Amino acid sequence: MDYTNKAYKVFEMFAKQKALATAGSIDDYNCCTIGWGSLGNIWDRGTNIVTININPDRYTWEYCMNKDTFSVCFFPEEYHDDLMILGTKSGRDGDKVALTKLHPISRNDAVIYEEAKLSFICKKLYQGEFAREGLADKINNGIYKAWRPHYMFVGEIIEVIGGE
């Protein structure tokens, strides 16, 4: 199936549905709920990407920094409470996925979930922290007044599962 012909609602996907970003292997992975991301292309018209943003205080950030692939999965509304658990608990403290109804599976050197309605598997092309000097004052004095800036991870889409 050619995923590029799908009609994704890119301005709603992260903001309204939330997503689960996961990095690592099925034997050692971590995930976190994210609300910031985008789909698009970069560097040439054949490089379709998913961009996610993760705060370096999150345990998942360590996995994203050290792994070559990551996944971004979207779920039906019935898994909202599970995504809230995964967004508020830390994998440093134990197996937070065990607290949910989700079932992780291995696919193409990444971890996705049986319950996801749409999963993007990505090969990392770029990682870097937002530079404070490059951010608008309203961002620096707003969200990053008390936080360290997020890291951006850009991944080339290598497989899409679901979304039919």
The answer to whether 31 and 22 have CB atoms below 8 angstroms apart is yes
The answer to whether 20 and 42 have CB atoms below 8 angstroms apart is no
Nearest to 85 by CA among 36, 45, 31: 31
Q: What is the pLDDT of residue 126?
A: 97
Nearest to 50 by CA among 73, 78, 72, 27: 72
CATH of domain 3-162: 2.30.110.10
Chain segment 56-110, per-residue pLDDT in tens: 999 999 999 999 999 999 999 999 999 999 999 999 999 999 999 999 999 999 9
Residues 6 or more apart from 140 whose CB is under 8 A from it? 132
Task: Report the predicted TM-score, pTM, of the whole model to 2 decimal places.
Answer: 0.92
Chain segment 41-59, per-residue pLDDT in tens: 888 777 899 999 999 999 9
